[in-house]
Chains A and B, each alone.
Chain A
Amino acid sequence: MIKYTNIKKSFSGRTVLNDISFSVAEGEIVFILGTSGTGKSVLLKNTVGLMKPDSGEILFQGTDIVQLNEEQLLEIRKQCGMIFQHPALFDSLTVRENLAFGLKRLKKLNDDDIEQLIKQSLEDVNLSLDILEKKPSEISYGMQKRVSIARTLAIHPQVLLFDEPTTGLDPVTTTAINQLIYTLSRKHKITSIVVSHDMGCAIDIADKIIVLDKGNIIEQGSVTEVQKSQVPLVKDFMLEVSNDIS
């Protein structure tokens, strides 16, 4: 579905991604873990053309998205939705208008269909409809993050890129979001790439785990493979999980 080949990216001489290659199959849930500042967000942004890598190729169903211009990228963004690390809701618009934003532009639907999708997507993230007329500043951070997820879900992309979807959320909501990602993958064949710090979640639902450090992939494989890893940083991540359980 998506194939990254030799992705390199640096900012004013400082290398952030150094030769990243991996691939993601349809319906798969891939977790990307790594410490702060290793370029996880940068990697996701490259996937939808918000940034261009300095070199390398990103094939999305056979199309190299690195070569596409902003107009051609719209087609990709319909199929590949990104959920940002920040809630990234538009402050001046209500929750309803935020949710309708992409539906109007990417999908050009009529008002009834939009209303339907808005309600459905809010339900998907366990939010009640009475926040629809509120501004983002009037709801809690956790709710903002969920509205942000709903905004992307409403477009019904085939691929979802989550940038730390559960960071800052309570455990109940965290479980609900992970459950949602799992259901989307198993029921609707939605492919998900999830950037996270949470090895526990990764072990629960990932098909594949990739661990980044200083712009390099230091470990990748299935959950069982990564659990057996001898790489020090990966072992640290694992330790975190066993500490949580005990």
Chain B
Amino acid sequence: MISAKNWIQEMGLYLIYMEELFSTWRKHGVSKKLLVEQIWKVFAQSFTTTTMSGVFVGGIMTVQFTMQIQMFGAHGYLGGLSTSSVVREVGPLLIAFMLSGKVGAYTSAELGSMKITEQIDAIRCLGANPITEIILPRFIGIIVASFFLLVYGVLFAFLGGLLMGYLFSGISFDEYIRNIPQLLTGISIAGGVIKAFSFAFVIAVLCTYYGYNTSGGAKNVGLAVVKTSVSTMLIIVIMDWFRSLLLETWQGLFL
């Protein structure tokens, strides 16, 4: 569908766009009120879905690990394994999919329709800068909210795991919790946060970029949404692959 040359071109355009965002941010700052509004909006949009999927993913992880752990009689490690893998791997990916599906699609459609109904032009004519007033609050909002969502989602995954551990594997709450500190290291927490942060960054760049660059009619708004989700998924998967590759090499060198 997209040739390699187009991809490189597209990447160049993302970079130019980011440079414009950051230089405008440095020069004009961004309104705290708008920012808080956007963070809240992103959080509110993803709140229920995050709760639900958090609980279920936590539960699934526990069930999966139970089946493996039973063979070794290492029941005590169930809580630790399940929680740390949620924090490190599943949590950030889950938040990324949620953000991309809900917030990313919503934002690019919102900006796209503002663009084609001349609202962005009107903003400029009325003496405001659309990047500071519209783009930056959404851009930063998505990134900041993703951090809160991660914490929140992990919390519910923990509860889901705890409950499932009790019901399915017959492990008491005490036993489930006891070994978590041992397995959930600072490094895995940092890894999870960095991962969630970089996914959110990709989503924030792409959805605002495609929305803001919509032109023409209503059909192109739909197209902007499609482009946002396709390229978000693609870049996130590539990034994750690249990260594991780096990690492998790194571990090979030092361990």
Contact = CB atoms under 8 A, between A and B. Distances in A.
Nearest to A51: B121
B10 interface: no
Interface in A141-175: 148, 151-152, 155
B2 to A, nearest CB: 18
Interface in A29-55: 45, 48, 50
B121 A151 contact: no
Contacts of B123: 90
Given A84-B118, A86-B117, A90-B119, A50 B124 contact: yes
Interface residues of A, number: 25
A45 B121 contact: yes
Nearest to B128: A105
Contact of A81 (B114, B125, B129): B125
B122 interface: yes
B121 A101 contact: no
Contacts of A102: 125-127
Interface in B100-135: 114, 117-119, 121-129
A85 B118 contact: yes
B121 A88 contact: yes
A78 interface: yes
Contacts of A84: 118, 121-122
A188 B127 CA distance: 23
Contacts, number: 51
Interface residues of B, number: 13
A16 interface: no
A78 B127 contact: yes
A70 B122 CA distance: 14
Contacts of A85: 118
Contact of A86 (B118, B126, B129): B118
Contact of A88 (B119, B127, B128, B129): B119
A50 B126 contact: no
A89 B127 contact: no
B78 to A, nearest CB: 47
Given A78-B127, A101-B126, A106-B127, A89 B121 contact: no
Interface string A77-118: 110011011111111000000000110011000000000000
Nearest to A82: B125
B125 A105 contact: no
A8 B121 CA distance: 21
Interface of A: 45, 48, 50, 70, 74, 77-78, 81-82, 84-91, 101-102, 105-106, 148, 151-152, 155
Given A74-B127, A90-B122, A102-B125, 7 more contacts: A50-B121, A85-B118, A86-B118, A101-B128, A102-B127, A105-B126, A151-B126
23 contacts: A48-B125, A50-B121, A50-B124, A70-B124, A74-B127, A77-B125, A77-B126, A82-B125, A84-B118, A84-B121, A84-B122, A85-B118, A88-B121, A89-B119, A90-B123, A91-B114, A101-B126, A102-B126, A102-B127, A105-B128, A106-B126, A151-B122, A155-B126
